[in-house]
Structure 1
């Protein structure tokens, strides 16, 4: 399910708005936030029969909006949009021209900038695990209360993941500006926490409550099922050149499939070449971190137990919630330059029949018999009167050899209808890597024609 959240008055997108399923209860922990374009995506919602979902969108300084939708098995709901109505919050500086001191409390609103952190991390991860929130109490004219009308405000969590999250203090009195502050601290589960402030006006027998305010808890410890390692270029041009860089990246998530807390440490090592031990600042807000594998050191170390000579293994390590190491590995090839002995054409001698053609098998590898660097071009040149089909070859990003990587097939056909004499001819294979290393080889044959 996906959609977009916008301001009902301006049409502007709303970033960081929450979208949460309220019912049925088995989906009540399903939530997300909008991105900078106001777009959201809820995870796969699996139902076995026609089910009505109640979904609420909320954002700071906006009234929440709830909509229902019926979902059947296999449905993919798109463009499920919300338009949120802005709250009308007076700044407390005169209440629209009403004179005199503030009266008794009539409303509780979130103060401008009232939340220090709209998302916090799971407890004991070393990240930000608490946030303060500030409410303002206003009279019927929209003016903040003064000390003469101070109220004791109680705070509560009206919904949350139930992982031990809490509020401290649970009650506090408004100050001279009519505001009151407390703190939410996270527990050990991810989810959306909705907090509310309320007062009891015993003098008029009225309970006044704020609108719920949503804060997200996420960013737990690394989880092995949400930890992946990727290599930018499997076959990079690092065997014969020092200082060639190859980006290595990891994405680290927690057991709730959210990014781990920003700054989570990941350590990198390699069996060949040089690798940066950790990324600057460690993981970012998306749980990603990248380092460079740099060609250098003794190439004799590039000896993989199964892939053979020229290969290295990258290992990324981090720590889970039980203080155990978790690792991911990926292999990479330090591709060497091309050479003439590593260009083979079958058949190596040939006869192109009159107005006919011949199919060739071509194998091209680096000097170690491995795939050439990604981006290497292989050009097939033939004499006048001949035409190549299947000769536009570029070596792909690949770890091991095979069809389309080291092994190719092309055809050469006779296209000369004017010359009827048998002629000697040749096919030339030219190889050039992205860094400019070159090799070429030529193969002789005959273009068979007949005499008139």
Structure 2
């Protein structure tokens, strides 16, 4: 058993020594490091597999801060090598060309301080002593300079370069000898100044054609299509979607609203309400996604911030809790909720809303006693409110009933409260009338007023005479 425990003790040591960081190509390390990258490759005959010497090799690629454009010639073994300095990772196109052959291409992903082997380039002999005429068969998007742009005048990127690749029926990029014109159109656009430039261009030595999309003042999704005319045939790319985000917040297009204007939270803690900010730019677009909105409350507690969605919406949860709200104008129970963000001038803009924290139900009625003469009637005014004189929350049911005989009860006998802050929903009335013409009858009538809802239950019972 001693040997068994010794073996278990050694396992963690072996695991630790086997998990050290490697700097070999089999365990690449990505990042923003700057260093040398070496790309090795080979050019062979498509039919025989024999090395192809003296093939012209081009290596191209670009990003927002790096451009690679290099050339080499394959040696007697069909081999070639590129060595250069790069920062971070970059996708590159490798193209091989030689007279009497159809060119071929491949892609490699270059990483600093690594040696990379590219896929074999296969050159197919044309049998004509030249590159031959090759017609375009397909056009597709091969890259973009940025993932999305913003509207014009919003302070962000307003243009994106779209790079389309044109290939023949074998999937090989067209060369300069077979260059074609590529046209660009907006298949869908929000309008308001969105443009493509140039409207058409000719493919380069790599079979690529580029167009720049510049935004207008309207946010939305733009669709760009590239097309080529080959005789009477039109070859088109799939529509390429580009998102144009809105600008910075504008006070005129900034709103803050609650899901419920009245919650039963003055005496009950933990009641939730959703507070939502709707944020637009000066052109009525939703602001760019991820815009921060900050929230504060003068009653209860609230989540401090949220980021806008693609529709410019940011929501947080308000919870009833201490401190109990006491508004300087509207009084106890009313909490001011404020949403704040920053506009294009870096100024803080704010919008506020009110949420009522309603309390427990209290019922009063006048008159409280009554003696209705033969053939007569009596009007009763009653109130159902919380201890601060505010209306109860949505869904509260209020009923009035009578127990006796020879009477008629009319008026606000059954009411259901809406989501409201108006005190008009605290005052009600009903009428009791003698139903039978009798001179000597004396009937006792018991009246019950009830309130039932999320604020709690309450009832008021009183009685009188109907003659």
**Are the aligned partners of 1:110 and 1:134 in contact in 2 as well (CA < 8 Å)?**
no
User: Counterpart in 2 of 1:121?
Assistant: 150
Deviation digits for residues 182-203 of structure 1 (CA, Å, limit 9, x no counterpart): 55354666578686757899xx
For the 8 Å contact 2:391–2:422, the answer to whether it is kept is yes
* CA shift in 2, pair 1:102/1:257, >3 Å: farther
Quote the Cα distance in structure 2 between the aligned partners of 1:327 and 1:228: 9
Deviation at 1:321, TM superposition (A): 1.6
- Whole-Å Cα distance in 1 between the matches of residues 377 and 396 of structure 2? 27
- 1:233 has 2:256 as partner: no
| TM-aligned CA deviation for residue 412 of structure 1 | 3.2
Gaps of 5+ in 1: 1-99
Equivalent in 417, 421, 432 of residue 399 of structure 1: 421
TM-score, reference length from structure 1: 0.60
* 2:335 corresponds to 1:335: no
Cα distance, 1:419 vs structure 2: 12
Q: CA deviation at 1:429?
A: 1.4
* Structure holding more strand per residue: 2
Aligned-pair distance for 1:416? Answer: 6.7
Q: What pairs with 1:284-295 in structure 2 (closer than 5 Å)?
A: 284-295=309-320
Per-residue Cα deviation, 1:189-240 (whole angstroms, up to 9, x for no partner):
6578686757899xx9x9x996997856341222222222211222211111
In structure 2, relative to structure 1, the CA distance for the partners of 1:261 and 1:380 (3 Å cut) is same
For 1:269-348, what aligned pairs fall within 5 Å after superposition? 269-279=296-306, 282-299=307-324, 302-339=325-362, 343-348=363-368
> What CA distance in whole angstroms lies between the structure 1 residues aligned with 2:171 and 2:236?
16
1:384 aligned residue:
404
Note the residue ranges of structure 2 that are not aligned, 5 or more in a row: 1-125
Once residues 135 and 329 of structure 1 are traced to their aligned partners in structure 2, the CA distance between those partners, rounded to angstroms, is 49
C-alpha contact 2:340 2:349 (8 A) present in aligned 1? yes
> 1:267 Cα shift?
0.8
Secondary structure of 1:360's counterpart equals strand
Deviations 1:222-260 (A, max 9, x none): 222222221122221111121111111121122222211
Tell whether the 8 Å contact from 1:102 to 1:146 is kept in structure 2 after alignment: no
Superposed displacement of residue 352, structure 1: 4.0
Q: Which residue of 2 aligns with 1:243?
A: 270
Structure 2 Cα separation of the partners of residues 102 and 333 of structure 1: 80
Cα distance, 1:359 vs. partner?
Answer: 2.9
Q: Does 1:265 align with 2:292?
A: yes
TM-score, scaled to structure 2: 0.58
Aligned equivalents of 1:413 and 1:257: distance in 2?
A: 59
Q: CA RMSD in A?
A: 4.5
